[in-house]
Structure 1
Amino acid sequence: MSVSRAASHRRPRRLRPVLVVVVAGVLLGGCFTGERPSFDDEDGLPPTSTGNAEIDSVLDLFDSIDDSEFTAEYSIETNFNMVSSTGTVVQAADDRRSITIDNDERSVQFIVDGSDERTCDLDTDECEAALNDARISDTQLPHTFYGPAFAQRLRADAARRIGDPVAYTESIAGQDAECVDIAVAGGTKTFCVLASGALAEFVGADVTIELTAYSPEPDTTAFST
């Protein structure tokens, strides 16, 4: 059941060692409460459902992003190498997307315009005819961080969770977001998503991403680069 953060959102308490052993034993024995995600071996596709209503509600929104148009701005804090970046994502009709990552070291734009795919260094005005995530390796993120990449992460963490998820709603950058906290070995991860399917917030050990501005109108000037 979804609850408001103010009313019931609590971080899971640290488990005592004996409880960790018990949980680990249950997981290894295949007796964890609830259905586990199942993969389609024939098609090689990710599962459409994790078997948990709170997680699947967030996943359904992530998976709907291809049908949305928007302009979204993000702050990105990569924790392991202490890199602060900003991201701007524009998604328009006819399979058009622009994703720009800026920090002190680089300014990189990924453009998908129908069949045209480019990665451009905005400092040197040079582009390559491919989507090259290595250009933003210092962020430890792919260019699809605004939605698809975190749908994959959420599915993976759903399979690794060691407790019941906590669902709630939150206002982020003036937008209503649906969130779920998932406890995994090493800590709790937060996934928040807008009705459009765009990432609103992620908090994990490696990176923190937060939506800072959002418009349902795509800024098509981004494709003129």
Structure 2
Amino acid sequence: MAHLPHLPVTTWRRLGAVAVAGVSLTGCFTGQRPEFEDETGAPAASTGNADIDRVLGLLDSVDRSEFTVGYDIETKFNTVSSTGIVVQAVGQRRSITVENDERTVRFIEDGGEELTCDLLVGECETSLNDARISDTQLSHTFYGPAFASRLRADADRRIGDPVAYTKNLAGQEAQCVDISVAGGTKTYCALATGPLAEFVGADVTIELTSYSPEPDSTKFETS
């Protein structure tokens, strides 16, 4: 057996510390690498299935586009029919309006300002309060981010191969994918510019009814 050189105890301690650090660094580089946002700011879309990732990548890219989109929303558990209008403009400006027989609520993000407004009474609070539209069982980000998260979750629990196809919705071509999960099949569709175009699930159905690449500035009014 080879003999180790005789070194002072303090030297051995320094060498041991270096060795431990080397093992830690090696573990960082050889283990599973985290996913990072790309240089455009969109989260990496990687579920392991190209058909799902095609739709997911579009939903993830929604923040990079300008548009005005309209939706029909059918919430099934409590039978609520609503409409939605989402406007996105440069400068981190967004307006999401949800209207039904009980309420007309508008969420506004304008630079650093955040408002949730009851348009029927003309009152606003200085935060984004999804409880104002709890009867729809949706968050104000239903137009993209919320359903990107749902799609990732359903990709993990799918029980069959997804089915990809294109579909015309409100005069726009949408990329779609059907995913079989326990309890049924869910449909996710997105436009090339990123907004959700259709969702069909057990709890809610959302369908695009209008699309314009121009932001409607009137939808940032608070009354």
Scaled by the length of structure 2, the TM-score of the pair is 0.80
Choose the corresponding residue for 2:204, options 207, 218, 222: 207
Residue 180 in structure 1 maps to residue 177 in structure 2: yes
The aligned counterpart of 2:107 is 110
1:73-113 alpha-carbon deviations (Å, 9 max, x no partner): 00000000000000000000000000000000000000000
Shift of 1:136: 0.1
- Equivalent residue in structure 1 for 2:75, among 78, 85, 106: 78
Asked whether the 8 Å contact 1:72–1:89 carries over to 2, the reply is: yes
CA contact (8 A) 2:180 2:186 kept: yes
**Which of 50, 56, 59 is 2:53 aligned to?**
56
Q: Name the structure 2 match of 1:221.
A: 218
Secondary structure class of the residue paired with 1:149: helix
Moved segments of 4+, more than 6 Å: none
Deviation of 1:47 (Å):
6.3
The CA distance in 1 between the partners of 2:188 and 2:45, in whole Å, is 17
Percent identity between the aligned chains?
72
Question: Quick one: which of 115, 130, 133 aligns to 2:130?
Answer: 133
Q: Distance in 2 between matches of 1:86 and 1:122?
A: 14
Secondary structure, counterpart of 2:142 in structure 1: coil
**Could you list the per-position Cα deviations for residues 36-82 of structure 1 after superposition, in whole angstroms to 9, with x for gaps in the alignment?**
xx994999xx8630010000011111111111000000000000000
Whether the aligned pair in 2 keeps the contact of 1:98 and 1:112 (CA below 8 Å) is yes
For residues 175-210 of structure 1, the C-alpha deviation after alignment (integer angstroms, 9 at most, x for no partner) is 000000000000000000000100000000000000
Distance in structure 2 (CA, Å) of the matches to 1:201 and 1:73: 11
Q: Give the match for residue 147 of structure 1.
A: 144
Matched, 1:167 2:194: no
Q: Is 1:91 the equivalent of 2:58?
A: no
The residue type equivalent to 2:127 in the other structure is A
| Contact 1:39 1:47 (C-alpha < 8 Å) held by counterparts | no
Contact 2:71 2:209 in 1 (8 A): yes
Extract unaligned runs of 5+ from structure 1: 1-37
Q: Structure 1: which amino acid aligns with 2:158?
A: R
* Structure-2 separation of matches of 1:169 and 1:97: 27
> For residues 41 and 172 of structure 1, do their structure 2 counterparts lie closer, same or farther at Cα, with a shift above 3 Å needed?
closer
Mapped contact 2:45–2:60 kept (Cα < 8 A): no
Q: 1:147 to 1:39 in 2, by over 3 A?
A: farther
CA contact (8 A) 2:66 2:88 kept: yes
Q: Output the CA distance in 2 between the equivalents of 1:39 and 1:208.
A: 36
Measure the CA separation in 2 of the matches of 1:95 and 1:223: 13
- How many residues align? The count is 186
Q: Alignment RMSD, CA only?
A: 1.8
The alignment partner of 2:135 has SS state of helix
